Amino acid sequence: MNQQAAKLGFTLIYGNDDQPAAPARNVRCAVRFPLALPVSIFRDGGNEPAITCDISASGVLFETEIAFPVGESIVFSMEMPGTILGTSKDVLVECRGRVVRCSLSNSLPRVAATIDDYRFVEQ
């Protein structure tokens, strides 16, 4: 299990009652917005569906059925509601990034990815 988890980019953390837990550090540099939006991840000639948990200017956290290896480059798109963006229509955004973290939450993979580049797609 440990080798398989490492291949998928999971980090296994084991507790130790003898030592106090280290204080958590927040290294995020952008405000995160809790938005649940459908995402299409383009992979191996197909689309993997996902739902965002939160979004920032520099990254996104989403839940999906499939774990992604840390370091994998990904292309994904999401439709941003016009009400959030202050536009009259919803806007489709295509993003390119890379997976920086993958963990399990409620037995579903949660994938954190950077947004290294994006473009608005006409609809």
Tens digits of residue pLDDT in 46-94: 999 999 999 998 999 999 999 999 999 999 999 988 888 888 999 999 9
Residue 85 pLDDT: 80
Task: For the chain, give every domain's residue range.
Answer: 2-10+32-121
Interacting residues of 41 by C-beta distance below 8 A, sequence separation 6+: 47, 48, 49, 50, 64, 74, 75, 76
CATH number for the region 2-10+32-121 comes to 2.40.10.220
Tens digits of residue pLDDT in 5-51: 444 444 444 444 444 444 444 455 678 889 999 999 998 889 999 99
68: which 2 tokens? 């992604």
64: which 2 tokens? 């999906």
Query: Is pLDDT above 70 for 110?
Result: yes
Residue 27 pLDDT: 52
